[in-house]
Each structure stands twice: as C-alpha cells, then as structure tokens.
Amino acid sequence: MNGPVRVRYAPSPTGLPHVGNLRTALFNWLFARSRGGQFIVRIEDTDRTRLAQGAVEGILSGLRWLGIDWDEGPEVGGPHAPYFQSERLEIYQEAAQRLVEAGRAYRCYCSPERLREMRRQQAREKLSPGYDRRCLNITPKELEERRREGREPVVRFRMPDSGEITVDDIIRGEVTWRSELLDDFVILKSDGFPTYHLANVLDDHHMEITHVLRAEEWLSSSPRHLALYDALGLAPPRFGHLPMILGPDRSKLSKRHGATSTLEYKEMGYLPEALVNFMALLGWSLDDRTEIMNRDMLVESFSLERVVKAGAVFNLDKLEWMNGVYIRAMSHEELAGRVLAYWREYPPAEPPQPVDPAYLLSIIPLAQERLKTLEDAAERSAFFFRSELEYEPKGLALKGADAATTAAALERVLSIVEGRPVFNAEALEQDLRRLGAELGLSGRQLFGLVRVAVTGGKVSPPLFQTMEVLGRERCRRRIRGAIQALTGASGGAEPASAP
Ligand code: GLU
C-alpha cells in the first residue's frame, strides 16, 4: 500500500471502555504514529438498544488520559465528518438500496416470531443455523401482501452460494471460510439503521482506512465484510486481528478478574504512562527482555510483525510493579504535582484537602521509594498531616520501663527538639544517640519510642528525616501529646492547632 497508513478505533458506546478496548486503540495509534500515518476515532452507535449514557465521554476521556490523540474524529472533526455513525444514515441506506437493485441484497419481511420458529426447527433437525432465504424466494403476490400489512422490511445481504472467502490476516495468516456456511445477514434494520457490518465496511472505505486492527472476536465477521466489499465493488483494507486478553486463569479477561474499565485504573492511582507501557505488551513485545518502554520508544519500535496470535495474560502484579518503576523515575516535583492532581480528582479521606503543596513536596522524597500507586500516597503520608495523633499507651511503652520513666525519657527528647539550634536529620540523630547512651537505652528502644511519639505508628520512613520534614513545631506538639498520653496530665500541652 502506498499512501499513508490510516487506521481507526471504532468503539460502540455501550459502556465504559475496558482494557481490551483501549489496547485496540493503543495498537492502532502506535501503528499510525510509528508509520507517520493517521489515527481516526469513529463512534459506532448504530445499535440504539445498547447505547449507554456517558459512554462516548468515557471513551474519549479514557483516550485523552492515556495520551492517545486522534487526527480525525469526535471533537476534532476532519475531512470525513461526521464521525458518529448515527449521523451518516443516508450513506448506508443509499448503499443498501444499491445492493438491492444489483441483486446482491434483498428485503426480508420475516417476523421475529417466524425467525424464532425457524431457529427452533433448525435446532430440532440439527441443521446449520441461519436465515433460510424465505424472502429471497418470495412471490410477487406474497410481497404485495406483506407490503399491504404495512410490515417494515430489513435488508439482507445475499451471501455467495458457493466458493471460499479467505482473509489474509496480518497477524493470523490466511483464514478461509466456505460462503455457503455463512447466512444472509441483515445489513439494514427496519428502523433504517444499518447493522455493524454494513456501516463498518462503508465507513472504513469512505474514511480511507488502510488497515483494520481490531480484537480477535471480530475475525468471524471479516468474511462477511470481504463479501460486502466485493459486492460494493470496493477494495478492502488489510485486516489484523489482535490477540485476546486473558485473566490469570487464562480465560477471557472479564469483570470477575477485577477492574476492567480503564478509568478504574486511573481511579486506583495508576499512571497513564505505566498503563500505556503495560498495555503495549499485551500481545506485542520488542524482544524477550525489554519491559520498560516509554511512549517515544514504543512509537519508535512498534511493528505488527511482532504482534502475536496467542492470548496475552493481564498480570496485575506486573502492572503494579511497572507503575512503581514509573513513580520512582519521576522528579520529586513531578510526583508531588501528580499526587496533588490525583487528590483533587479523588479526594482521600485523609489527609484533609487541600494540602500545603510545599509541605507535600518535602514529604515526597520519603514516600516515593515505596509507592506503588498514587492512591498509596494518602496512606503513606497521612501521619504527616494529622493535627493530633492517637496513641495506644502500649505502643508508647519503653520495654521494661514504667510510664513515668518513659515519659521522663520523652521529656529529654522534647528538650532536644525544643533546644536544637539547627533542626535537621543529622543533628537530631547525633543528639538522640547521645541521649540514648546517657539513658542506657539502645538506639532501637529510644528511636522506636520517638517514632511512635512523632508518627503515631511503628513503621515510617527513616526517623530523623521524618522529624526534619515534620519540623520542630509538629514534633514538639506530638511529643508533648505522647507525654500527656503516658502521664494522663493535661498541663503543659499547647492546644492542638494546625501547624
Ligand atoms: N464497533 C466495533 C467495536 O465495538 C468495532 C469493531 C471493528 O473494529 O470493526 O469493537
């Protein structure tokens, strides 16, 4: 094929896009971008019974979030507008009429009841299912009757009576069907809307699509599409059917494997760049080693030759790992910005919003290493923001010492915190080590106690850096609070006000 590559993503707005849908979009986009071609979005909204409210917006925002931009389609327009099939009905109706006139299609008046009965009978007699061509052979008199009854016909495509149809699939190679096993399918419904097959074929032609890359489940539609192209006298595009996405149990990925809608991953704190990298590897690879590839690398190296036939397993652990890799690769400023944006969109229960961006930025270096998702950031940083900590007296106990002794040790810590001219990690470490030695306490014991006092928990990022970030005021207030919790005294503590 000579001209530029033109590919499309043609979702039906029946719900929020799941990972499989957007993997199709991504592969088309990568193919277009890697070949300097165009990527088109077309909304296939002809099945009026399955339209879901908000689905188009969900699809477009999923694409935008992943950074999959389109050259033609909704919102951006283009030379082949409109890009909603429901606004292109005349094109389909006119083509259906042409096919009828050429004897390649015919009107069918069979009622749903008759078709149901026909199917039942076929099942009883173990015949292959499919339309029995009753209306192909309708007599003029019968036709007249049907018309008089006011029945609205559908239009059926007349499949060739014999011969083979072969799809030369870019990914699967040649796949052949015998035409007589494919029945005369509906191309135009009685409400004047086309079926998927007719609209899809005509639009791919009018929109000058060169390659149809879509999910494997559409492979069985492709002989019908080829027959339609032939009957319409149009040259078909190339086809490539992408491998299925499987859950860990190797069955087709579905809701019972967990989140499937792409926007759920956004909400769970996954980064779009990690998801793009991860989805690119669902059925494609650069080699058998390379895992981390940013968008530019993917565009540079993507090729259909390396798309496989076998189903690709969706491994959530791998996505989580990859997300962590992308999080760790970010600058502190970048990550703080992402966390803030995430909290704006999905406000956590804790820390209370809005937070001080500068304070968050100082916390990030302590949390970044362990974050797997943006969602984790709330839990890992919450203690930094609390205005009051709650202590369990047991958690504050120094091993082998009573509450009074523990409180006395904390008093000494407090005077260091209050008196230190420079309040930073090194200085605190020095002073607290010295204090430990003086009190005859091991580092583990004293630091463990201070950790609980200033963070409220036993696990935290490195203690002295944490104290530095918390700052003198917060440390002071928290240690006082801990002493109070130990002694039950209320004197001396300052009222807890926001730092
Ligand atoms: N509208 C179909 C879908 O929802 C498009 C299939 C195709 O790409 O031909 O996936």
- CATH number, residue 440: 1.10.10.350
Q: Which atom of ligand 1 is nearest to the CA of 212?
A: 8
Query: Ligand 1 centre from 18 Cα, in Å?
Result: 13
**What is the Cα–Cα distance from 453 to 164, expressed in whole angstroms?**
78
In a domain, 321, yes or no: no
Q: Coil, strand or helix: which one is 312?
A: strand
- Distance (Å) from CA 491 to ligand 1 centroid: 71
Long-range pairs for 445-448 at CB < 8 Å and ≥24 separation? 445/398, 445/399, 446/398, 446/409, 446/413
What would the pLDDT profile of 320-371 be if each residue is shown by its tens digit?
A: 999 999 999 999 999 999 999 999 999 999 999 999 999 999 999 999 999 9
pLDDT for residue 489? 60
CA 201 to centroid of ligand 1, rounded, Å: 11
33 lies in the same domain as 53: yes
Residue 255 lies in a domain: yes
Q: How far apart are CA 455 and CA 133, in angstroms?
A: 77
What's the mean pLDDT in 418-441? 95
Together in a domain, 403 and 473: yes
How big is the chain by its Cα radius of gyration, in Å?
33
Q: Which of 141, 189, 252, 255 is catalytic?
A: 255
CA of 131 to the centre of ligand 1 (A): 24
DSSP per-residue codes, 148-216: HHTPPPEEEE---SS-EEEEEETTTEEEEEEGGGS---EEE-TTSPBPHHHHHHHHHHHTT--EEEEEG
| Tokens of residue 180, six digits | 């007589």
- Weakest mean pLDDT among 10-14, 108-112, 401-405: 401-405
For atom 3 of ligand 1, which residue has the closest CA?
11
Measured in Å, residue 59 CA sits from the centre of ligand 1 at: 13
Residue 499 lies in a domain: no
Q: Is residue 1 part of a domain?
A: no
Q: Which residue ranges have their beta carbon within 6 Å of ligand 1?
A: 10-12, 44, 200, 214, 218
Cβ contacts of residue 222 below 8 Å, gap of 6+? 167, 169, 175, 239, 241
359 and 439 co-located in one domain = no
CATH number for position 345 = 1.10.8
- Between the CA of 153 and the centroid of ligand 1 the distance, in Å, is 25
Which is the closest atom of ligand 1 to the Cα of 204? 9
Which ligand 1 atom is nearest residue 12's CA? Answer: 4
Which residue of 56, 200, 242, 245 sits with most ligand 1 atoms within 8 Å of its CB, as the best mutation to test the pocket? 200
Which is more confidently placed, 282 or 253? 282
Atom of ligand 1 nearest to the CA of 221: 9
Distance (Å, whole) CA 254 – CA 364: 35
If phi over 0 gives left and psi between -120 and 50 gives alpha, with beta otherwise, what is residue 353? beta
Q: How far apart are CA 339 and CA 360, in angstroms?
A: 9
- Angstrom distance (rounded) from CA 227 to CA 236: 10
* Rounded mean pLDDT, 259-284: 95
Cis preceding linkage at 351, omega within 30: yes
Residue nearest to atom 10 of ligand 1 (CA): 11
Give the Å distance between the CA of 429 and the centre of ligand 1: 62
Write the CB contacts of 404 (distance below 8 Å, at least 6 apart in sequence).
486, 487
Please check the confidence at residue 258 and state whether its pLDDT lies above 80: no
**493 occurs within a structural domain:** no
- Give 379's contacts (C-beta < 8 A, 6+ positions apart): 350
252 as an active site residue: the answer is no
**Burial class (CB within 10 angstroms; exposed 0-12, middle 13-18, buried 19+) of 440:** exposed
Q: Do 120 and 209 belong to one domain?
A: yes
How far, in Å, is the centroid of ligand 1 from the Cα of 214?
A: 7
Domain membership of residue 50 as a residue range: 6-85+245-313
More confident residue, 374 or 180: 374
Residues 6+ apart with CB under 8 A from 325: 274, 292
Give the C-alpha separation, 70 to 25, whole Å: 10
328 neighbors 369 (Cβ within 8 angstroms): yes
> Which one of 287, 313, 339 terminates a domain?
313
Q: Which of 22, 44, 220 to mutate to test the pocket of ligand 1 (most atoms within 8 A of CB)?
A: 44
User: Are 306 and 160 in the same domain?
Assistant: no
Statement to judge: residues 146 and 231 lie in one domain: yes
Q: Give tens-digit pLDDT for 163-181.
A: 999 999 999 999 999 999 9
- Arithmetic mean of pLDDT over the chain: 94
Atom of ligand 1 nearest to the CA of 14: 4
Report residue 401's pLDDT band, with 50, 70 and 90 as the boundaries: confident
CB count within 10 Å of CB 295 equals 18
Percent of the chain exceeding pLDDT 70 equals 97
| CB-based contact 110:134 (threshold 8 Å) | yes
Number of separate domains in the chain:
4
Structure token pair of residue 459: 């696990």
Query: 111: which residues sit within 8 A by CB, 6+ positions away?
Result: 151
Summarize the confidence of residues 118-135 as an average pLDDT: 94
How would residue 493 be classed by pLDDT, with cut points 50, 70 and 90?
Answer: very low
Identify the CATH number of the domain in which residue 69 sits. 3.40.50.620
Q: Give me the pLDDT at residue 1, please.
A: 52
Q: Which atom of ligand 1 is nearest to the CA of 21?
A: 10
By the 10 Å C-beta count (0-12 exposed, 13-18 middle, 19+ buried), 116 is classed as exposed
Is the predicted pLDDT of residue 254 greater than 60, yes or no? Answer: yes
| Residue to substitute in 8, 12, 203, 210 for testing ligand 1 pocket (most ligand atoms within 8 angstroms of CB) | 12
Domain co-membership, 375 together with 343: yes
* Domain assignment of residue 261, yes or no: yes
Q: What is the mean pLDDT of residues 462-485?
A: 97
Judged against a pLDDT cut of 70, whether residue 495 lies above it is answered with no
My answer on whether 235 and 213 are in the same domain is yes
- pLDDT mean over 32-55: 96
Q: What percent of the chain has pLDDT over 90?
A: 87
Q: Are 246 and 314 in contact (CB under 8 A)?
A: yes
Residue among 16, 50, 205, 218 to mutate when testing ligand 1 (max atoms within 8 A of CB): 218
Residue ending a domain, choose from 189, 212, 242 = 242
Give me the mean pLDDT over the 40-46 stretch.
Answer: 97
147 and 199 together in one domain: yes
Residues 137 and 217 in one domain: yes
pLDDT for res 397:
80
Q: Which of the listed residues 340, 362, 385 is the one where a domain comes to its end?
A: 385
For residue 318, being part of any structural domain is answered with: no
- Which residue's C-alpha comes closest to atom 5 of ligand 1? 10
- Coil, strand, or helix at residue 281? coil
Residue 221 shares a structural domain with residue 107: yes
Domain identity same for 261 and 250: yes
pLDDT at 496: 44
For residue 283, is pLDDT > 60?
yes
Is 380's pLDDT higher than 80? yes
List pLDDT tens digits, range 186-225.
999 999 999 999 999 999 999 999 999 999 999 999 999 9
Nearest ligand 1 atom, CA 200: 9
Q: Tell me how far the alpha carbon of residue 391 lies from the centroid of ligand 1, in angstroms.
A: 57
End-to-end CA distance of the chain: 67
Asked if residue 348 belongs to a domain, the reply is: yes
Q: How many CB atoms lie within 10 A of CB 93?
A: 16
